[in-house]
Structure formats: structure tokens, C-alpha cells
Amino acid sequence: MSRQSLSLIFISILLALPISGLWAKDSILLVVTNHSELGDTGKETGYFLSEVAHPWKVFRDAGYEVVFGSPEGGFAPMDPKSFDLEDSVNLEFWQNLDAVEGLATTLSLEEVDPDEFAAVFFAGGHGAMWDFPEDSDLQETAVSIYESGGAVGAVCHGPAALVNIQLSDGSYLVEGKKVGGFTNSEEEAVGLTDTVPFLLESRLEERGGDFVAGADFQEQVVTDERLVTGQNPASAEAAAEAIVKILQGSK
């Protein structure tokens, strides 16, 4: 048999391999907010550290590369109230130079290639309520990943990213699906009902989502096919684990 024939056979075998084999995607896009002002309160906001650090660790421990993105790119502000280094995972994250640099130099979603990612995960923090919902690049990225068979995850206020995402058929991503996120009750408990631009639970329901609420500030994760939503900071790790389970189950 000629060398050319062997090459053709080898190429045919490679093309027949499942996508979850040799050509599996091994990166997850972790999206954070660029918004730093908490309405007209004069207070600072941004991403919530544990909602970034805990998923980051889960994804890395599962063998995925984590790439940080944001609507505008560049520096991502942190909610100062979330800077808790007594949390061992937060501390591990904050001592990782690559992670910290990644948040200081996030990719803008306009420059992200969705085809490189197995999943996208939207971290929370009140800042997400302002810049996630209307960002067209965010929406296009999520749709591309989801409609290519990837997973979409979000935690706490991260599901603000989901409220305006429409699939190719015009339907909302959350329509007819069980979803979660920071509840109206939790927003009232932290005294920000009149500060945020909308109530996340109510908006997700308006978009046709079947909102599943757990107890305030307790772990609660909802999975519906390839969509995962966590209710609050306590749900960040479990939401990331649910994403990994989906991705590994597809292999």
C-alpha cells in the first residue's frame, strides 16, 4: 500500500472520530461585568469574587482552560464587599497570577470566537444587571455556543445575561425552561429592590422561564438540558459542577 493511500486512510479515521474525542473543546468562557456603579447609591459594585473563584477552580480541576471575557474587555471591577480571603478558594484564586491578570485583561466579547469554547458561564455581582442584558455580542456568543451543542451557565445576578438572549428561531433561550437566579426575596433582603434596573426573577418569568426559587441565600441550582442557573453566591460551585457534568456527559 502506498504512503498516499495510508495517509488517506488515516485522515478518514480522524474525520470519523466523535467531536468529544480528539477534537474536543477544552476551554470555558467565564464572563464578568465591567459595570462598577451601584445605581445612584454612590457605592461600588462589580463581579462577586466567589462567583468567579469557585467556578474557576471547578473548571480547572476538571481539566478545562478558563478564559475571562466581559462586554467591553479589559479591566473587570470587583464588588468590594465580596473580597473575602478567609474563603480558601477565593484566596487560592487571588494568589494565582494568571487568574488575577485574566480579570485585569479580559477579552471583549466582540473579539471572542465562540467556536473555541465548550461552555460559557456568566458570573454574578450586581454590576451584571446593568451591562449584561443589552449586550449584543454577549447574546451572539451565548447563542453560538448553545446552538453548537455547548452549555450555558449563570449564577446569582449572572442570569441577567439570559433575559434577552433569543435563539435562531426567535424564541428566548429561557422560554419553557426551568431557571433560577437571585430572587426577588433576596433582592429585598439586601435592600436593593429599588436600586437595580429590574428584578431578575420577574424578568426571567416575563421571558417565559419557569423560575424555581429556593430558600434565601441557600444553595440552589437548576439544570434544564444544557442550561444551568444558580441562585446566589452559595450556588456558584455547584452550578459550575453541573456544567462540568453536562460537558463530561457529552463525551
Q: Whole-number mean pLDDT of the chain? A: 93
In 3D, which of 201, 186, 80, 78 has the Cα closest to residue 128?
78
Q: What is the reported pLDDT for 25?
A: 81
Q: State mean pLDDT over 17-39.
A: 77
In 3D, which of 130, 126, 134 has the Cα closest to residue 47?
126
Model pLDDT for residues 144-198, shown as the tens digit of each residue: 999 999 999 999 999 999 999 999 999 999 999 999 999 999 999 999 999 999 9
* Between 19 and 79, residue with greater pLDDT: 79
Model pLDDT for residues 115-132, shown as the tens digit of each residue: 999 999 999 999 999 999
> What residue segments make up the domains of the chain, in order of their start?
23-249
In contact, 200 and 218? CB cutoff 8 Å = no
Low-confidence winner among 11-15, 75-79, 104-108 (lowest mean pLDDT):
11-15
Note the Cα 30 to chain centre separation in Å: 5
Q: In the chain, what is the greatest distance between 2 CA atoms, to the nearest angstrom?
A: 76
Q: State mean pLDDT over 212-236.
A: 99
Q: What's this model's pTM, rounded to 2 decimal places? A: 0.90
Residue 12 has pLDDT above 70, yes or no: no
Q: State mean pLDDT over 47-58.
A: 99
Is the CATH number of domain 23-249 3.40.50.880? yes
Q: What is the reported pLDDT for 38?
A: 99
Give the contacts of 224 (CB within 8 A, at least 6 positions apart). Answer: 177, 178, 179
